[in-house]
Amino acid sequence: MSELTILIKAMLRERRDIAFAIAGGFVAGVGGVGLFSASGYLISQTVFAPPLYTLIVLISIVKLLGLLRAASRYAERLYSHQATFSILSRLRTSFFAKLVPLAPSMLRTRRSGDLLARIVGDVESLQHYFLRVAYPPIVLVMVFLATVLFASAYSIWIAGLLVLGLLGAAFVIPAVILRGQRNIRGRVRLHRAALSTNAAELLYGFLELKVYGKLDERGQQLRRHSDVLADEQQAAGIHLLNGQSLHVGLTYLVTWGVLVLGGYLIVNDSLAGVFLAMLVLAAQTVFEEAGAMATLPSYKQDSEHAASRLAETVQPGEALPPQPEGSLSDDAPPSVELNGVSFQYADEWRPALRDIHIRMAAGSKTAIVGASGSGKTTVLELLLKLYAPAQGQIRMNDKPLNELHESSIWKHAAVVLQQGHFFRGTIRDNLLLDEAGLSEEELQVILGQAELSYKKLDDEVYERGENLSDGEKQRLALARAMAKGGRLWLLDEPTSSLDAITEQRIYRRLFKLAANDTLILVSHRLTGLESMDQIIVMDHGTVVEAGTYEELMDKRGYFYEMKEIERQLIGEAG
Amino acid sequence: MKRNKSLLSEQLSKQRRSMLLLGIISLALGAAIIGQAALMAEAVNRIFVMNAAPSSILALLGSLLAVMLARTLLAHSNGRIGLSMAALAKKTMRGELLRKLAGDSAAATARGGTGGTVSVMLDAVDESDGYFSQYLPRMVEAAIIPLIMLAAVFVWHYPSGLIMLVTAPFIPIFMVLVGLKTKRKSEEKYEELSRFSGTFLDSLQGLVTLKLYGRARRQEEEIKRSSLAFREATMGILRIAFTNTFMMELIVMLSIGLVSLELALQLVVFKTMSFHTAFFVLLLVPEFFSLLKNTGTAFHSGRTSMGAIRKVEQMLGAMDGDWQMAQGDSIQPDRADPGIPVPPVIQLNDVRFHYGQGSFELAVDRLLIEQGQKIAIVGRSGAGKTTLLHLIAGLLPSASGEVLLNGRPLREYKNNSWFDQMSYITQHPYIFSGTLADNIAIDTSRAVTRSDVEQAAAAAGLAELIGGLERGLDTGVGEGGRGLSGGEKQRLALARAFLNRPAIILFDEPTVGLDVRTERVLQESIGSLASGATMITVAHRLYTIKDADRIIYLENGTILGSGSHEELVERLPQYAQLVQLQRKGRAG
């Protein structure tokens, strides 16, 4: 699993903190065992009425061990958490780098929000792998070995019993828990997903279900799902509890075994009686320190599950081909040509584009129109090399797109996406410019051109631009594209949330700015297209018509009919 | 249902038996812990001090093993009771949420926040688990077992008991201190923390944008920077927590040390106690303190769970008001069910509705819709058109006034007898997970044949789509199935209506232009669907308006006028402006 390799690599980078954490954990564990052994020995010594000073020495040792234990526990906590967060930081950056090339296809599905949240969660649960799975057994085994070594100084038999106990606690019990746990947890996940889907369906389809008289039926069904989920979660809980109880039982059993074995050894004179209480307490403490072993399997499985899910997300079958070296020259607007292009999204059942032929001359202005789902956005995505066409060829400046480096296209393109993202930060941050860019005044002018002059560059923007209206987001996206500039303008319904007057104002400035550039505008409205050099009309993945506004209107074909429909629309439309 | 009690105490009163059982088992568990220590001390005493051979004290060793086993099982039972309490609580909370939701009017969905509701139903309810499965059992144990232990130590050797009594309160005090300090500190840094931790998700969401603007590489640095900043901020908080834990552990160690010092002095200097008693006390003291420490840990996780329960409570509370109205709707349940003649006369008298105090109000003094009339509701966005449609349909309860069907109040009819007569085509028809055939047949309660479904699909212009599919009508659609375009969804909703042959059709016309084909189907087939039926449309298309028998013009929740298109153009300047403006805007 390469995800675990990434994790291990990240762990190796933090080896200093990890070493400190392990050392701290070891000293704390040994200190605890020593502390209780010493007090057992202390109390046994009193039977022989020793001189007071031996007691004082012993008591001081107990105190010292207590202090040592608390202090090293503190160090262990500090360093292990420090290491955990550093590992998380490394994991995040390396996964981000891995996700970058997969960006658009990964985000296409309707539930992309869930997917991203899941990736974030999975990366976080990988960090637990270190804190809960990777390093506790190391500490545990070290403390155990030290205890065994200590016990073997008194009796090899008792040491042997402890080793047996260690095998049980560190291997047998976790193995018993792991068995069956996979199935139970799998079922919990399955039922949880079913409940989530059904609940969403009930809520989103509420009105329809109510009118169809299916609400009660669906509610009952959902309730059954909920009950099954609760039962399965209970089963999973019991499974975990069983493991913990097994561990506690083993602790008592070994303690008892040490007591009985010690008794026989004392009778046979191979052990001094004064050490009995000490060894019993040592055995009990060392097992209590190992309590985390019982919950380890569940963390282990969660992390592994997270790792394999990340692996699925990050590796979409074949490796991506390296980007070719070709680049677009930036001193002239590019010509664009699509020749017999077909394309189908991986998760869709029918092609998004079928045999598309479009020619856009250098510096020309093209509008693409059509109903939603007709393939307009896909054309832009293919031009940006976010996807590769299944068939046909795309050329820019007569160079095939598959010979051009993607970033050379992006460098020359000024893009407004339908769902552009806005980051937490300021307006300036969201213009996404390099440091050595435009001056404050120039930026403010650009905001003004996008009808955003009332916003200041330092105004705050919340996550996903939540404090901006849809119209403001579109204007900010336009400002972003204007500030970047480029010889190829690709605009995907950039003004759908703006009123007609604002739209006209912005378009006037935009077209002036792009006067000598190639511009492709996906438009939801059929107004203001008279000055375009060509209008491409799309329906269900095909180009049904193309021509200037006048040509298309004269033809009285598909575009004319769309125009007629638009004329019919009143109210909030438009 | 009255909600005087909080959700939590309600849940607890349902589980009183389990709580009692927890208490009894905890008593037994306390006894077992003391028994174990006593037997262990006795065994070591016999072997070490009295030189007994293990074979001579078999009964003692046997009972020690038995008590140890009993203690394991008792602790296990407490765990199990907690888990079953959690399962029951989750079931009832979800059940309650669902019951309210199903009984709730459309207002709940109109209020939005569907994602939030799903998250409460899933995540918040699941989070509440810890309260029942961990917090409650630990708290019951903490209330009982330390007291028993303390009593036992007092009986055997009261000076040690005194030390324990004096030092014990420091544990919860420090626990609370840790909690308060870290809470304050994390509140102080909340902004910072959430900003740093959110960067990763924010960057993932904006990946495409970052790529296109050539910023992906730089963002990597940004993620690293903010993750490390997050580490520093969190470590600052954790350091406080760890320091306090350190102090607390020191106190525990100090107390244990004090007790052993006192025991040693008693044993050696004053010779007032036996080895047996001393060892017994020495065994109990650490158990006593670790129990207190565990309680503190459980307390913190309990607080998180309580927050989750509060969220569920809020959601239930928010649905409360609507629920009562919905109850009011069926005050005279099933008393009279005369059945509805096809199609009924619909009448609204003095109907008032608002979504919340002080918000926009819809007020209809009088509205009469005759059998088979075609009504178009027209108005600007936010005028209350869809709300009026929902009120007529009985999907929303009116705050006052009455909706009458054939002269009888709507609420006197059985819900289903009314909805069976009706089809409602929403702006964004919901496609349920299932086959195309299932989805078309969902709106009808009568048995339908395959050819009925095929005919309905053909009438709605879906024949071509279905013909092109390998599995035809049996193709899975919706969640986990094939995606349909907006126009196809609209046609599917139309097919549902064709199959149902309703007496009343409610139609919320799409506000955007669909593909030409769907628009054509809409224009042509709605007419045949509506022949003989009453049809009420929230209209966004001129042809719908011109075809209507009557147009209702709404503004700010009131009907400003009704009549034919020509009448309204002449009489109502607002209406004329709405219709004309759009046309002019597009003419150019």
Q: What is the CATH number of the domain that holds A67?
A: 1.20.1560.10
Q: What is the pLDDT of residues A164-178, one digit of tens each?
A: 998 998 888 888 888
CATH of the domain at B473: 3.40.50.300
Name the packing angle between helices B16-44 and A276-289 (round to 10°). Answer: 150
* Nearest Cα residue in chain A from B126: A230
Confidence of residue A340 (pLDDT cuts 50, 70, 90): very high
SS (H, E, C) A191-224: HHHHHHHHHHHHHHCHHHHHHCCCHHHHHHHHHH
Cβ <8 Å between A569 and B426: no
Same domain for B430 and B537: yes
| Residue A443 placed within a domain | yes
Q: Which of B212, B380, B430 sits opposite A205 (nearest CB)?
A: B430
User: Among A263, A280, A314, which residue terminates a domain?
Assistant: A314
Helix or strand (DSSP H, E) at B354: strand B346-354
Chain A contact probe: residue of B209, B235, B267, B425 with most A CBs at under 10 A? B209
Q: Which residue has the tokens 């509060």?
A: B310
Point out the least confidently predicted range of A31-35, B442-446, B557-561: B442-446
| Residue B164 placed within a domain | no
Write down the pLDDT at residue A159. Answer: 94
E strands, A38-174, are: none
Confidence of residue A109 (pLDDT cuts 50, 70, 90): low
Same domain for B365 and B315: no
Provide the β-strand partners of residue B347.
Answer: B368, B404
Q: Which of B84, B122, B419 sits opposite A199 (nearest CB)?
A: B122
Same domain for B316 and B448: no
| Residue A324 placed within a domain | no
Same domain for A412 and A308: no
Write down the pLDDT at residue A501. Answer: 85
Q: What is the pLDDT of residues A521-564, one digit of tens each?
A: 998 788 888 989 999 999 989 999 999 999 999 999 999 998 88
Q: Which of B239, B257, B442 sits opposite A62 (nearest CB)?
A: B257
Residues of chain B neighbouring A567 (CB-CB closer than 8 A): 542, 583, 586
Q: How far apart are CA A447 and CA B304, in angstroms?
A: 44
More confident residue, B6 or B232: B232
Same domain for B358 and B475: yes
| Residue B335 placed within a domain | no
Confidence of residue B79 (pLDDT cuts 50, 70, 90): very high
CA distance B54 to chain A (A): 6
Confidence of residue A28 (pLDDT cuts 50, 70, 90): very high
CATH of the domain at A414: 3.40.50.300
Three-state secondary-structure class, residue A449: helix
Write down the pLDDT at residue B3. Answer: 45
CA distance A361 to chain B (A): 23
Work out the widest C-alpha separation in chain B, in whole angstroms: 117
Domain range spanning residue B140? 11-100+112-155+307-320
User: Among B320, B355, B382, which residue terminates a domain?
Assistant: B320
pLDDT at B75 over 70: yes
| Residue A331 placed within a domain | no
Mean pLDDT of B76-81: 95
User: What is the average pLDDT value for chain B, to the nearest integer?
Assistant: 83
Confidence of residue A358 (pLDDT cuts 50, 70, 90): very high
| Residue B329 placed within a domain | no
Point out the least confidently predicted range of A89-98, B154-163, B167-176: B167-176
Same domain for A356 and A462: yes
Same domain for B495 and B422: yes
Same domain for A405 and A349: yes
* Nearest Cα residue in chain B from A527: B586
| Residue B506 placed within a domain | yes
Confidence of residue B192 (pLDDT cuts 50, 70, 90): confident
pTM across the whole model: 0.81
Q: Which residue has the tokens 């046997």?
A: B62
Write down the pLDDT at residue B114. Answer: 59
What percentage of residues in chain B have a pLDDT greater than 70?
90
Q: How far apart are CA A239 and CA A245, in angstroms?
A: 10
Same domain for A260 and A124: yes
| Residue A321 placed within a domain | no
The domain total for chain B is 2
More confident residue, B63 or A115: B63
More confident residue, A113 or A494: A494
Cβ <8 Å between B381 and A386: no
| Residue B381 placed within a domain | yes
Q: What is the pLDDT of residues B338-397, one digit of tens each?
A: 445 578 889 999 988 877 666 678 888 889 998 889 999 998 877 888 889 988 888 887
Write down the pLDDT at residue B386. Answer: 86
Write down the pLDDT at residue B334. Answer: 39
Point out the least confidently predicted range of A150-159, B109-118, B539-548: B109-118
pLDDT at A465 over 90: no
Write down the pLDDT at residue B325. Answer: 37
Residues of chain B neighbouring A481 (CB-CB closer than 8 A): none
* AA letter at B89: A
Q: What is the pLDDT of residues B257-287, one digit of tens each?
A: 888 888 888 887 777 788 888 889 989 998 9
Write down the pLDDT at residue B335. Answer: 38
Pairing of strands A365-370, A518-522: parallel
Give whole-number Cα distances, A167 to A141, A163, A179, in Å. Answer: 10, 6, 17
Same domain for B352 and B311: no
Cβ <8 Å between A59 and B379: no
E strands, A233-370, are: 336-343, 353-360, 365-370
Write down the pLDDT at residue A574. Answer: 40
Same domain for A356 and A252: no
Same domain for A370 and A261: no
Chain B contact probe: residue of A234, A347, A507, A556 with most B CBs at under 10 A? A234
| Residue B525 placed within a domain | yes
Write down the pLDDT at residue A301. Answer: 84
Give whole-number Cα distances, B56 to A257, A343, B63, in Å. Answer: 16, 87, 14
Write down the pLDDT at residue B144. Answer: 92
Task: Confirm if B556 and B383 have CB atoms less than 8 A apart.
Answer: yes
Domain range spanning residue A237? 2-314
The total of other beta-carbon atoms located within 10 Å of residue A57's CB is 11
| Residue B162 placed within a domain | no
Cβ <8 Å between A208 and B426: yes
Same domain for B369 and B316: no
Q: What is the pLDDT of residues B205-256, one digit of tens each?
A: 888 888 888 888 888 888 888 888 888 888 888 888 888 888 888 888 888 8
Write down the pLDDT at residue B585. Answer: 46
The total of other beta-carbon atoms located within 10 Å of residue A133's CB is 20
pLDDT at B179 over 80: no
Residue B238 forms contact with A (CB below 8 Å): yes
Residue B540 forms contact with A (CB below 8 Å): yes
Q: Which of A59, A539, A570 sits opposite B582 (nearest CB)?
A: A570
The total of other beta-carbon atoms located within 10 Å of residue B190's CB is 11
The domain total for chain A is 2
pLDDT at A2 over 90: no
Same domain for B530 and B423: yes
More confident residue, B118 or A238: A238
pLDDT at A4 over 80: no
| Residue A327 placed within a domain | no
Q: Which of B68, B239, B588 sits opposite A78 (nearest CB)?
A: B239
Mean pLDDT of A97-112: 71
| Residue A319 placed within a domain | no
Same domain for B548 and B399: yes
Q: Which residue has the tokens 């092109």?
A: B468
Point out the least confidently predicted range of A302-311, B305-314, B321-330: B321-330
Residue B50 forms contact with A (CB below 8 Å): no
**What's the token pair of residue A548?**
């200037």
Point out the least confidently predicted range of A83-92, B8-17, B540-549: B8-17
Mean pLDDT of A78-89: 90
CA distance A563 to chain B (A): 9
Confidence of residue B1 (pLDDT cuts 50, 70, 90): very low
Same domain for A95 and A162: yes
* AA letter at B171: I
Cβ <8 Å between A500 and B585: yes
Same domain for A369 and A279: no
Q: Which of B48, B202, B423 sits opposite A423 (nearest CB)?
A: B202
Q: How far apart are CA B371 and CA B536, in angstroms?
A: 11
Residue B99 forms contact with A (CB below 8 Å): yes
Same domain for A405 and A308: no
Write down the pLDDT at residue B104. Answer: 63
Residues of chain B neighbouring A239 (CB-CB closer than 8 A): none
Exposure class string for A361-385: b at 16+ Cβ within 10 A, else e:
ebbbbbbbbbbebbbbbbbbbbbbb
Same domain for A505 and A454: yes
Q: What is the pLDDT of residues B524-569, one digit of tens each?
A: 888 888 888 899 999 888 888 888 999 999 988 889 989 998 898 8
Cβ <8 Å between A208 and B429: yes
Three-state secondary-structure class, residue A459: coil
Q: Which of B121, B214, B249 sits opposite A70 (nearest CB)?
A: B249
pLDDT at A21 over 90: yes
Write down the pLDDT at residue A100. Answer: 82
Point out the least confidently predicted range of A219-233, A517-531, B165-179: B165-179
Cβ <8 Å between B68 and A252: yes
pLDDT at B415 over 50: yes
Same domain for A424 and A309: no
* AA letter at A262: G
**What DSSP line would sit under A387-418, residue for residue?**
S--SEEEEEETTEEGGGB-HHHHHHHEEEE-T
Q: Which of A103, A233, A539 sits opposite B87 (nearest CB)?
A: A233
* Alpha carbon of residue A462 to chain centroid: 20
More confident residue, B187 or B385: B385
* Nearest Cα residue in chain A from B92: A227
* Nearest Cα residue in chain A from B586: A527
Confidence of residue B9 (pLDDT cuts 50, 70, 90): confident
User: What is the average pLDDT value for chain A, to the nearest integer?
Assistant: 87
Same domain for B451 and B315: no
Point out the least confidently predicted range of A74-88, A268-282, A386-400, A557-571: A557-571
| Residue A322 placed within a domain | no
| Burial of residue A207, with CB atoms counted within 10 A of its CB: 0-12 exposed, 13-18 middle, 19 or more buried | buried
Give the number of A-B residue pairs with CB atoms closer than 8 Å: 422
Q: How far apart are CA A447 and CA A453, in angstroms?
A: 5
The set of residues, in sequence order, having a beta carbon less than 8 Å from that of A199 and lying 6+ positions away, is A222, B117, B118, B121, B122
- Of A98, A132, A562, A205, nearest to B516 (Cα)? A562
Same domain for B316 and B353: no
The set of residues, in sequence order, having a beta carbon less than 8 Å from that of B452 and lying 6+ positions away, is B499
Same domain for A353 and A299: no
What value of ipTM does the predicted structure carry?
0.82
Same domain for B398 and B313: no
